[in-house]
A = this chain, B = another copy of it.
């Protein structure tokens, strides 16, 4: 099993939901970046349960410690270890799950593959492991911010409730303003209501998260096997519960004709080459074309629900029923928002270094 992503800017994560700690090593960060624990903590706080009914009741401060890689407030080019110790561990709800794989979870695959499986809280397969992504992403975002690149994610749909079309400016302004992380504040209220309704029934619900990248130079990405869209999609699909990713006009492209799909070029008032439309979602031939990059991912409903479900007991090899207790989010979309930003930020920094647009040694 490999737990690393990135070729030149490499993030390796470790830890499990109910183990001692969770975290990440960032290797390949250039020296000279101002970095404090607070920088990472801000991002981790965005990932934390929201203390509302919308979220798991597990109560973790998720306090990060930077153990290495920072000297006198700046990165020094050596590996950055960020670690969060688990505090509020309650494994009691999981003992009945030991031999009974939960539908929609990876339990059955883990056990089949490794024989040994830390089933407590989903072990390393838990959503809690995205703490590592976010630690890596926090460092990547600091680098991106320094060169004017922004990554913004927001929820655009929960079940059949969709946010209205909004300008990038308004999306940026409102995307972190509510617990749903939906920039359309009115839709957000209806989404919240829908989630709580389903939660009451012991059920959960899915949705759609959109990720936007602004400020990218032209030509990021490699044109054959490391296309920017392919690597971004890879990063987003790596997030648990994501079942599909599209870019630009995405699945709608299938129904368009060439003249409808193609984005014609023009010169803007600053004499930059831009496209009139952005059906491509900012990537052509695997490389950024200078337009905003717009991706959407579909997120399945949280598989942990308290409605009884059929499963198979692996020891007895007989069919049985399972009821999942434990503490779970009825909808994972809001908490995927910072994780998606992190995943994307890591890919971008890696590509920027690989393209010679960020110096690999010192900023």
Contact = CB atoms under 8 A, between A and B. Distances in A.
Using C-beta atoms within 8 Å of the partner chain, give the interface range for chain A.
35 or more
A8 interface: yes
A124 to B, nearest CB: 4
A319 B264 CA distance: 10
B106 A225 contact: no
Contact of A258 (B12, B258, B301): B301
Contact of A285 (B83, B110, B118, B286): B110
Contact of A238 (B224, B265, B314): B224
Interface of A: 1-5, 7-8, 10, 12-16, 19-23, 25, 27-28, 31-32, 65, 67-69, 71-72, 74-81, 83, 101, 103-110, 112-118, 123-125, 129, 157-160, 198, 203-208, 218-219, 221-227, 229-231, 233-235, 237-238, 240, 243-267, 271, 273, 275-276, 279-281, 284-289, 298-305, 307, 309-312, 314, 317-319, 354-356, 359-362
Contact of A257 (B124, B205, B221): B205
A264 B310 contact: yes
A115 B2 CA distance: 30
Given A244-B246, A253-B300, A25 B14 contact: yes
